[in-house]
């Protein structure tokens, strides 16, 4: 892009959310894992104060002065990396003392599949800049920078789960995150020892968090919390649901019920993993999908078919993963069933006239890091 040699290369992973969907912005609990699909950022120094970003996905680059960074100064794909630069300044970085850089981005995290390609990009850029510019931010702060960029610059009303998973993930483990106080525990999954695989079924129905469906769900949650007299749905328990049903219209109540019961399922999943191991969490994954399909109404026929086919062919559990309205499902199954479920799903999609899904296993992996 600039002809200058890279002075460093950083990467950050996408994520699969094992359970805990749409609970993050309700100050609830989530349980994602980083995966072995990564976004890589190469950084080269400049002599001026410009930031230039390019990507292998597009034959273009975007350049902007550090002094011109603002939420409305950039749009499109470049809003993610340049939004992170702006967000670092908002969180206290003194950007007046740094020189510009060129950033070149490559990735094998599928876009629009619910595996958080956006957070992988944000976190790779955030880690690269905080280390190169010696800003001193820790990883929870970098997660906040990624969320701020996505909320304000990109315009997607997401929570902090995706960035936290990308930055804090570890090998064969998942991140148990309390989205109220941002306390994170790394919980071993022990999939390898149990002979289990995580199979991702990308339906190829693309979604985006900036569309009305995601925002409408968040608005319904906020409305439910307000009507129930709490600051967030985190403060509502399952035992409160009969009272909530009397106070809320049916649609808002079902949105609330999903979040409240999903929080309980996250806690039960972590407890079950610790006490019984990964082979016992299947019913919780299945129940999560039903809640997202029926109460939160964020599934689509392709996701339902992926989940049902995996379950019918021996998966321990399966659910859609990500924000919904498309994207991917994830199935937990014994290793020997991977080719069987793959073939069955491809056949089922063909019979329904759906796009051929992209199906692959993912391995819970390390978080963002410097590569060289």
SS3 letters for 21-55?
Answer: CCCHHHCCEEEEEEEEEEEEEEEEECCCCEEEEEE
pLDDT of 142: 98
Q: Does some domain include residue 85?
A: yes
Are residues 125 and 203 part of one domain? Answer: no
- Are 105 and 219 members of one domain? no
Which domain does 68 fall in, by range? 8-187
pLDDT digits (tens, 9 = 90+) for 20-33: 999 999 999 999 99
Same domain flag for 163 and 194? no
Is there a single domain that holds both residue 263 and residue 311? yes
Q: Using the 3D structure, point to which of 141, 170, 187 is the last residue of a domain.
A: 187
pLDDT (0 to 100) of residue 206:
80
Last residue of a domain, one of 141, 168, 187: 187
Does residue 368 form part of some domain?
no
Query: Does 137 map to a domain?
Result: yes
What pLDDT was estimated at residue 78?
Answer: 95
Task: Say if residue 127 is in the same domain as residue 252.
Answer: no
Q: What's the angle, vertex CA 17, arms to CA 12 and CA 23, rounded to 5?
A: 115
Residue percentage of the chain with pLDDT more than 70: 98
State whether 167 and 55 are in the same domain: yes
For residue 97, the model assigns a pLDDT of: 95
Is residue 156 located within the same domain as residue 182? yes
Residue 367 in any domain: the answer is no
Residue 168 shares a structural domain with residue 269: no
pLDDT at residue 208, rounded to an integer: 62
pTM of the shown model = 0.91
Is 19 domain-assigned?
Answer: yes
User: Distances from the Cα of 106 to the Cαs of 43, 87, 111, 176, 187, in angstroms?
Assistant: 12, 22, 12, 28, 29
Question: 62 and 114 share a domain?
Answer: yes
| Claim to verify: residue 221 and residue 298 sit in the same structural domain | yes
Report which secondary-structure segment, H or E, holds 193: helix 191-194
Q: Quick one: pLDDT at residue 77?
A: 93
Question: Which has the higher per-residue pLDDT, 212 or 1?
Answer: 212
Residues 220, 74 share a domain: no
Out of 162, 222, 235, 336, the active site residue is 162
Domain boundary among 167, 187, 207: 187
CATH at 128: 3.30.230.10
Token duo for residue 302: 């392709």
Residue 66: its pLDDT value, please? 96
Are residues 218 and 160 part of one domain? no
Q: What per-residue confidence (pLDDT) applies to 114?
A: 77
Residue 24 annotated as catalytic: no
Our count of domains for the chain comes to 2
Strands 358-362 and 196-202 turn out to be: antiparallel
pLDDT tens digits, residue range 97-123? Answer: 999 999 999 999 988 777 889 999 999
DSSP one-letter string for 195-223: TEEEEEEE------TTSHHHHHHHHHHHH
Q: Is the dihedral of CA 231, 237, 243, 247 positive or negative?
A: positive
**8 Å CB contact between 29 and 178:** yes
3-state SS, residue 70 = coil
At 176-229, the pLDDT tens digits run 999 999 999 999 999 999 999 999 999 999 866 555 688 899 999 999 999 999
Q: What is the pLDDT of residues 308-342, one digit of tens each?
A: 999 999 999 999 998 899 999 999 999 999 999 99
Output the DSSP codes for 111-170: TTSSS-HHHHHHHHHHHHHHHHTT----HHHHHHHHHHIIIIII-----SHHHHHHHH--
């Amino acid at each position: 892009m600039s002809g200058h040699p890279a002075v460093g290369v950083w990467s950050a992973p996408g994520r699969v959310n094992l359970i805990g969907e749409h609970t993050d912005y309700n100050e609830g609990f989530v349980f994602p894992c980083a995966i072995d699909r990564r976004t890589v950022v190469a950084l080269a120094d400049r002599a001026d104060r410009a930031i230039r970003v390019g990507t292998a996905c597009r034959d273009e680059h975007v350049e902007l002065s550090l002094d011109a960074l603002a939420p409305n100064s950039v749009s499109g794909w470049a809003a993610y990396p340049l939004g992170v630069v702006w967000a670092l300044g908002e969180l206290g970085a003194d950007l007046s003392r740094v020189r510009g850089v060129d950033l070149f981005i490559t990735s094998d995290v599928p876009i629009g599949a619910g595996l958080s390609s956006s957070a992988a990009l944000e976190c790779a850029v955030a880690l690269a800049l905080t280390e190169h510019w010696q800003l001193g931010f820790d990883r929870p702060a970098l997660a906040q920078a990624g969320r701020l960029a996505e909320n304000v610059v990109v315009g997607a009303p997401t929570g902090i789960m995706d960035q936290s998973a990308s930055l804090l993930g570890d090998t064969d483990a998942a991140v148990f995150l309390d989205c109220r106080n941002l306390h994170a525990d790394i919980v071993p999954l022990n999939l390898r020892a149990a002979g289990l695989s995580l199979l991702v079924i990308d339906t190829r129905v693309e979604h985006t968090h900036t569309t009305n469906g995601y925002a409408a769900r968040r608005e319904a949650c906020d409305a439910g919390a307000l009507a129930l007299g709490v600051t967030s749905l985190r403060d509502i328990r399952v035992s409160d649901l009969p009272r909530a049903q009397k106070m809320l219209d049916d649609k808002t109540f079902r949105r609330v019920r999903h979040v409240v019961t999903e929080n309980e399922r996250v806690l039960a999943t972590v407890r079950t993993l610790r006490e019984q191991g990964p082979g016992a969490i299947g019913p919780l994954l299945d129940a999560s999908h039903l809640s997202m399909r029926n109460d939160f109404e964020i599934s689509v026929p392709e996701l339902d078919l992926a989940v049902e086919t995996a379950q019918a062919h021996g998966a321990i559990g399966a659910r859609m993963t990500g924000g919904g309205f498309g994207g991917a499902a994830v199935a937990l199954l014994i290793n020997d069933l991977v080719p069987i479920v793959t073939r069955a799903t491809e056949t089922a999609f063909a019979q329904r006239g759906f796009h051929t899904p992209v199906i692959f296993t993912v391995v819970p992996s390390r978080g963002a890091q410097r590569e060289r």
